[in-house]
A and B are shown apart, each in its own frame.
Chain A
Amino acid sequence: MALATRTDRRPSIARTFWGSTVGKKTVMAATGLIMIAYLAVHALGNAKIFFGAGDFNDYGHWLRVMGAPVLHREWGLWTARVVLSASVILHGVSAYQLSRRDLKARATAYVHKRRRASYATRTMRWGGIILALFIVWHILDLTTGTVHPGFQEGHPYQNVVDTFSTWYGNVIYIVAMLALGLHIRHGFWSAAQTLGVGNATRDRVLKAVANVLAVLLTATFISVPVGVMTGVVS
């Protein structure tokens, strides 16, 4: 088997990637990083809420006209939506398939249990599920308004204040953002390993960047409901 002369042709790159644990993890890492980059921009945009309704609603309006006059109205927004939807789906499907495989590869548990790995590492799968549910709720709440009684199209500031004036709006949001922080903490560093840029000398830097990113993003996102709750934003 091993010594046969190789005259075979290899499967296509896409097949090789999707069929391999290493390749599928690469898909996860790349889509995860796309989502982190998006979230960094998203967090900055959210921070505009502290400068008043005018500023925030202008920003909401700009999202629709960004890239103008080269891009037609909402072309930029729809490009972002398509890329992000594809990322969430590819990331989620890879996570599901790899997790299924991992659980099968260790079907029998040890009788003698002991605690393993860090909290962020152990919560990647549950955290991911929380994030997936949150993404659905968040879009239905603040983009389409489907689950948002009294939703006003074109008035994002008012809608945000409205959401965070309910206790459940705050709880859902804050729990999801804590899950996000943990996910990014392990995820950013993991993505570096998966993409092969991690090594012994860079390890501390990568871990530090992951922690800073996780804390900054989580804190910025949570500052909005806290702002509404304390009346800084109203």
Chain B
Amino acid sequence: MSILKTTNLTKRFGKFTALDGVNIEVNEGEVYGFIGPNGAGKSTTIRVLLGILKATEGTAEIFGKDAWSDAVEIHKRLAYVPGDVNLWPNLTGGEVIDLFVKLRGGNNKNRREELIKKFDLDPTKKCRTYSKGNRQKVALVAAFSSDADLYILDEPTSGLDPLMEQVFQECVIEAKQAGKSVLLSSHILSEVERLCDQVGIIRQGKIIETGSLAEMRHLTRTNLLVETKQPIISIHELKGVHDVVQKDKAISFQVDTEELDTVMKHVTQFGVVKLESAPPTLEDLFMRHYEDNDSDVRRGS
């Protein structure tokens, strides 16, 4: 079942088009990774989804309700963590957490204590004195101690240390196992790789790629390292072969997935001694999209 859905979402600030026909869909129990270069429109999309910005065109729906006009209803079942957490300088972290939990209307004291302990947060300190990471922990504790059905997280870990990053990932996995949905925008690709079922890549306000990680890998290249009895000849000339590098006796190159079959047939003629194949790293995958090269941009489905 679809929990969150935008259709042809467009947002203009004056003449500047920040979002240009964005379509994303997050289903129940799914973690959706939302990635893209700086200024691509991730936070803008999220703000429209939160009913904080009004869409210029298109629709944004959560739980089947309109993100702008039914914002209050939606927010009862939604938790949000921004990348830049700004709190009241003269309230303590504990007070802020209680305030957020109270405004939402739930009350789960045990969960709150458990999370404060897990995130190693001192809730008696004034927010003025918190470091960036600690402010983020306040927002994370407030979010995960509430009984939400959808978590919207906008670079929630940009200030966390690796240990806390681990705790965060556990929280997301727990939420997922409990059948909840998550929209996670992040620049930390390893995090996305570990947590997300679906990934959407946005660039300059347009979704340029969506799908599961497996599907996306399929669309791209595979890294191969081959050692043969006789030297491989004319590998350069084959269609879909890239970045050929000679390494001692072996040769490494990348192959477009759709040409893999032809290339393998060619290679086997030379008597394969050793063959290593690796899926493209997420970095490889995204670098292609992040780079400002329009010929590489594929229109999303």
Q: Do A and B bind each other?
A: no
